[in-house]
Amino acid sequence: MFLHIKQVSYLGDDRLRLWFNDGKVKDVDLKDDLYGEIFEPLQNQEFFQQVKINPETKTVEWPNGADFAPEYLSEIGQTMKKLA
Range of the domain at 28: 5-82
CATH number of residue 53's parent domain: 3.30.2020.10
pTM: 0.92
For the chain, what is the domain count? Answer: 1
pLDDT band, very low/low/confident/very high, at 83 (cuts 50, 70, 90): low
Q: What is the mean pLDDT of residues 18-32?
A: 96
Calpha distance 74→59 (Å, rounded): 11
Q: 42-80, pLDDT tens digit by residue?
A: 999 999 999 999 999 999 999 999 999 999 999 999 998
Write the CB contacts of 13 (distance below 8 Å, at least 6 apart in sequence).
29, 31, 45
Question: What pLDDT is attached to residue 76?
Answer: 97
By the 10 Å C-beta count (0-12 exposed, 13-18 middle, 19+ buried), 63 is classed as exposed
Question: What pLDDT is attached to residue 1?
Answer: 75
CB 25, CB 39: distance < 8 Å = no
